[in-house]
């Protein structure tokens, strides 16, 4: 979709995905209401003509005014790390409930796109990417909370036009987790491969995710309370990426020596997640790699088919991983 003449509210607007989405909408002639917390760093959207709305998504303060007159809402705000199950419940489930309650109060509710996660569906079988109709079986607290948020949102489907989008690993400029860890391994020349075999993943460049989210905001089917698979779309680049090959590609992009793959038993992976959490506990933080991420890391496959999105949303990825990787490396490499 090249033009979007609409007014879109974006929660989590100052995050990795939110920033790219806000720029994409405004470049296409749309207007953005950037729904942010009081402590959000608004400077990351300098130069992007958005209207900021300070909202408490847990309590709903400011939501009605922020959403007045919008054509669509893209709900990106989420807790990706938390110290407890309650933290995920608050950051993902309660905020979704509060948002949908506010949207449902309008005489003509705007279309809501809930950005969920492949973690809500759970791991796939090697060689068989997940499809939307497959039973969900999340393995992490994060994944279970995202699935719970989907269920809560679907409870409003008779009053609110709702679409749920499940992306896989998302990477690109400003990526805070995946590419930095990939490039770090490539620089050391060592791949730490959880489990006894190859791990495969679906990926998606952040700009392709933005296209998919906007397509869901204007087209495709919406959710029905009685059908748990309706209005649900998975996005990916359609490839099954072997993790060790991804690190090798990163090493090649950095012009580093060939990488060495070290297999790490699942028990060691889980222990490392617990130790990382324990080390961060005195500082009141949750490290990027933790027990929850360890539960996901030991699974042999995280792949998803984007076929339904292709058919019903007209979704087609544009950025191949190798191109996105080279662009990211070029953007982070100092120039003399």
| Residue of 218, 114, 108 whose CA lies nearest to 160 | 108
Which SS3 state, helix, strand or coil, does residue 240 take?
coil
Secondary structure letter of residue 232 according to DSSP: E
DSSP 8-class letter at 157: T
Q: Is 171 a catalytic residue?
A: no
User: Do residues 324 and 172 lie in contact, with contact meaning Cβ atoms separated by under 8 Å?
Assistant: yes
Tokens standing for 53?
């709305």
Three-state DSSP class for residue 303 = coil
Spell out the long-range contacts of 321-325 with Cβ–Cβ below 8 A and sequence spacing 24 or more: 321/171, 321/203, 321/205, 321/237, 321/239, 321/241, 321/246, 321/249, 322/249, 324/171, 324/172, 324/205, 325/179, 325/249, 325/250, 325/253
Active-site residue (options: 142, 171, 201, 233)? 142
206-221 exposure pattern, b = at least 16 Cβ within 10 A, e = fewer = bbbbbbbbbbbbbebb
Q: Of the candidates 277, 248, 269, which has an alpha carbon nearest to the alpha carbon of residue 182?
A: 248
Q: Residue 224 phi/psi, 5° resolution?
A: -125, 140
CA-to-CA distance for 217 and 219, rounded, in angstroms?
A: 6
CA torsion, ordered 19, 21, 26, 27, to nearest 10 deg: 100
Token couple for 119: 């973690």
Residues annotated as part of the active site: 142
């Amino acid at each position: 979709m090249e033009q979007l003449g609409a007014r879109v509210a974006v929660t989590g607007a100052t995050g990795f995905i939110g920033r790219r989405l806000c720029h994409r909408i405004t470049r296409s002639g749309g207007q953005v209401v950037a729904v942010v917390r009081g402590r959000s760093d608004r400077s990351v959207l300098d130069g992007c003509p958005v209207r900021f709305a300070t909202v408490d998504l847990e309590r709903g303060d400011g939501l009605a005014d922020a959403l007045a007159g919008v054509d669509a809402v893209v709900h990106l705000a989420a807790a990706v790390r938390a110290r407890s199950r309650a933290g995920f419940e608050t950051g993902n489930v309660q905020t979704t409930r509060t948002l949908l309650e506010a949207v449902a109060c309008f005489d003509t509710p705007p279309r809501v796109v809930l950005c969920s996660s492949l973690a809500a569906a759970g791991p796939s079988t090697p060689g068989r990417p997940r499809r939307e109709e497959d039973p969900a079986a999340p393995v992490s607290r994060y994944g279970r909370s995202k699935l719970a948020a989907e269920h809560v949102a679907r409870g409003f489907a008779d009053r609110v036009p709702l679409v749920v989008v499940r992306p896989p690993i998302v990477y690109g400029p400003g990526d805070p987790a995946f590419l930095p860890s990939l490039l770090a391994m490539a620089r050391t020349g060592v791949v730490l491969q959880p489990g006894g075999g190859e791990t495969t993943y679906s990926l998606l460049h952040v700009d392709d995710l933005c296209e998919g989210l906007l397509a869901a905001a204007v087209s495709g089917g919406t959710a029905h309370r009685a059908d748990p698979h309706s209005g649900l779309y998975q996005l990916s680049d359609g490839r099954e990426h072997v993790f060790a090959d991804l690190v090798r590609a990163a090493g090649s992009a950095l012009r580093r020596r060939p990488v060495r793959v070290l297999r790490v038993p699942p028990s060691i992976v889980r222990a490392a997640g617990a130790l990382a959490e324990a080390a961060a506990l005195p500082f009141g933080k949750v490290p990027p790699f933790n027990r929850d991420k360890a539960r996901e890391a030991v699974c042999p496959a995280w792949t998803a088919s984007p076929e339904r999105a292709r058919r019903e949303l007209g979704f087609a990825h544009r950025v191949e991983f190798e191109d996105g990787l080279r662009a990211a490396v070029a953007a982070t490499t100092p120039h003399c």
